Structure 1
Amino acid sequence: METPSDVLPTFPIEEYLTKRSEDGRLKVAAESLIRVCMSDFGFKYMGREISSKTLTSQENGTNKPRRYGVVDIKVAESHGYHPADMPIREDVAEPSGPGMSDAENRVFIGDGDPSSGVKPGDKYSGKPIPRGGCAGQAAETLGTKQLGRTAKQINNISFARSMENSAVKTVFRGWSSCMAAQGYKFDSPMRALEQSLTSQVTASEVAMAKADVNCKRKVNLVGVWFTVESEIQKELIGKQEETLVGEKKSLTDALRKAAKISSGGGQ
C-alpha cells in the first residue's frame, strides 16, 4: 500500500499531471514496440519489466505526503522522517543476464545519443536505423517525447516560487521559533527533512518529527503554504492553459494507442 496521498488537498496542476500508473502503461506499450523493432534487426530484446506497483500507483509527481516535509502525526509517530512506504525509485526492473552488445545499442539508441556514433540514415544489416533508434521510434509512435512537459514545469516552479513568498517565509520563521523552543534549530522544514537518516527509525528521530508536525500545526504552515502555492499554480496555468489542455489530450491519445498495442491490436 502506498503512502496516503490525501495529506494535502488537491493542487490545481494535478488535473494536468501524468499519474505514475499512466506512465507505466505507456512504458509497457513502448517495450512491446521496441521488441518488435529490435526483432526486425535480428535482435532478441528482453526488455524491462514494469512493476505492478507502478501500474497501480496514483502518484503524479506532487509527492504530497512529503512535499512540505512530514505533516502527518501518525506517520511521524511510527516512522519519524522515514517515508511511511518507500517511494518507487525504479519504474522498471532491468532484465538479468548480459547487457546489449554495441550493435544492439546502436539500433536501440540510434542517433538519439551522439555517443552512439549513429548518424541519420545509417543502416544495420542493410536496414535503416530509425530516428532515435528503436526506443525513439516507440516514443514517436506513442507521442510521448514531450508528454506533460509544461505541467511538470509548473509543478516544480510553483514549489520553488512558493518558498520565496513573504507569507510562507513568515510561517517558516514561526515554525523555526517553535522548533528552537524544543531544542531543534532549522530555518525551514526542508532542512529538517534533509537530515541524515539511519537505517532504522530511532526514538530521537520520532521525537523531532512529532515536534515538527506539531509546530507546523501551531503556525498553520501547511495551510498557508498550500494556499500560496495553489495561487501560484493557478496563475501559471492561466498563462499556459491552451498548452496544458493540448498536453492532456496528447496523454489521452497516447494512452489509447498504448492500450491498443498492449492488447495486441497493433498501432
Structure 2
Amino acid sequence: MNGLPFSAYRADDRIAAKEIQARNALTVSRMHRAGFSAFDGAGLQPAQPPDDATALPAGAWGYLGAEAAASLGFHPPKRTLPRPTAAPADAGEAYDAARVDCDQQAMERLGSPQGPGAELVGRLFDESLKAVGRDDRVVAATRQWSACMATAGFEAAAPGKLSQRFQGTPEITGVELATARADADCTARTNLAGLWFAVLAGYQRQLIDRNAQALAAQREAVRAQDAKLTRLIAGEPPA
C-alpha cells in the first residue's frame, strides 16, 4: 500500500529492502573484521521488496491485475529462497561463532525501523480500513461488482471472499483462473479498486490532520531510519 498517506509514517517495502541490504553489508563487513576476508555474503537474504502487484492478489478492494488473474488466479507467486551457502570446509567453530556474532551485531547496529509512534499509526490505519468498509460509495461499488460477477456466472458478495476461497487450495485450478479473470474484469468495469483506494486515502488524510502533532515525531523517525540505512549501505562507519 505504498503511496497512501500513511506510507510516510511507516517502514514501507522500499525501506524494508534497504534494511536487508544494510544488514547484509554490515554482516559482510564484520565478518571481514573477524578474519574471514573471503566471506562475500553469498546466501544472505536478497534485498528486494515483495511484488505488490501479485503478492496479495485480492483483498477487500478487489485489486487483481489481468495478468496475475490469467496465470496465478488468487494464489500469490511462489518464491524460491536462496539456499544458505555452506561454510568453508576448514571453517570450524570459529567461523560458526563469527557468523552468529556478526549477525547479532548487524541487527543491533540497525536498531528498530518502527519509530515511537508505530503503534499509533497501526491503530489509525486499522481505523481507516474500517471506515472504508462502512462507506456508502464503497458499499455501492461492491454491490455493482457482485452483480457483474453474477452476470459472468460467479456468485460472490465481496472480493475478499474469493481469495479466501481459493488460496486454501494447494493447486491453481481452471475454475480459479476463470473466476479470477471475471474478478479482474468486473473490478475494472466498476472501478472498485480505484474507488476503494481513493476513499481510503481520504480517510487517512483526515486522521493525519486530527493527529498531526502525535504523528510528527513518527514521520521524522521513519526519515531518520531511511537516512541511517543509506549511510550503512554506503559504508559502515567505525564502531
Q: Structures share a fold, TM > 0.5? A: yes
Q: Does 1:185 align with 2:180?
A: no
Distance 1:257 1:178, change over 3 A: closer
SS of 1:81's partner is coil
One-letter amino acid matched to 2:115: Q
Task: Give the corresponding residue for 1:118.
Answer: none
- The reply on whether 1:220 has 2:195 as its aligned counterpart is no
Q: Aligned equivalents of 1:146 and 1:27: distance in 2?
A: 17
Q: Is 1:165 matched up with 2:135?
A: yes
How has the CA–CA distance of structure 1 residues 213 and 148 changed in structure 2, closer, same or farther, with 3 Å as cutoff?
farther
CA shift for structure 1 position 187: 1.7
Percent identical pairs in the alignment equals 22
Q: Which amino acid aligns with 1:79?
A: L
Spell out the pairing of 1:71-82 with structure 2 (5 A cutoff): 71-82=64-75
**TM-score scaled to structure 2, two decimals?**
0.65
Q: CA RMSD in A?
A: 4.5
Q: 1:248 to 1:87 in 2, by over 3 A?
A: farther
2:22 to 29, 45, 49: 29
* 1:51 match: 46
* Contact 1:72 1:213 (8 Å CA) reproduced: yes
Equivalent in the alignment of 1:126: none
TM-score by length of 1: 0.60
User: Which of 203, 212, 221 in structure 2 is aligned with 1:241?
Assistant: 212
* Matched residue, 1:208: 179
Distance 1:87 1:231 in 2: 34
Length, aligned pairs only: 226
2:139 pairs with 1:146: no
Cα distance, 1:266–1:10 mapped onto 2, change above 3 Å = closer
Runs (5+) with no aligned partner, structure 2: 34-39, 88-92
- Higher relative helix content: 2
**C-alpha separation between the residues in 1 aligned to 2:211 and 2:181?**
40
Contact 1:139–1:145 (CA<8 Å) still a contact in 2? no
**In structure 1, which of residues 174, 196, 199 is the aligned counterpart of residue 166 of structure 2?**
196
User: Unaligned 5+ residue runs, structure 1?
Assistant: 41-45, 109-132
Give the Å deviation of 1:51: 0.4
